[in-house]
Amino acid sequence: ATGIIFREVPPDYDLDWHPAPRRQYIINLDVGVQLTASDGETRRIGAGEVILVEDTWGKGHLSKALDRRLRHCIFVTLD
């Protein structure tokens, strides 16, 4: 790991297509997130789950808040 970021994400978070800024693990602490990959696959990453995000090029992914609740998460940067 090269760093750690603690983040609060607003309950109305709905981000358009974007690549990840770096390879990183995302750990949701209390609320999940919905991610849609560029191939159309949609996954819900729940509280307590960890996902490795590696799409640092191209179209990237969509990110959307779940449950209209403030989300606390940790980003563990790898690059």
pLDDT digit string (tens) for the chain, length 79 residues = 999 999 999 999 999 999 999 999 999 999 999 999 999 999 999 999 999 999 999 999 999 999 999 999 999 999 8
Residue (of 56, 57, 21, 59) closest to 37 by Cα position: 59
Q: Check: CATH 2.60.120.10 for 3-77?
A: yes
Domain range annotation of the chain: 3-77
pTM over 0.85: yes
Residue 8 pLDDT:
98
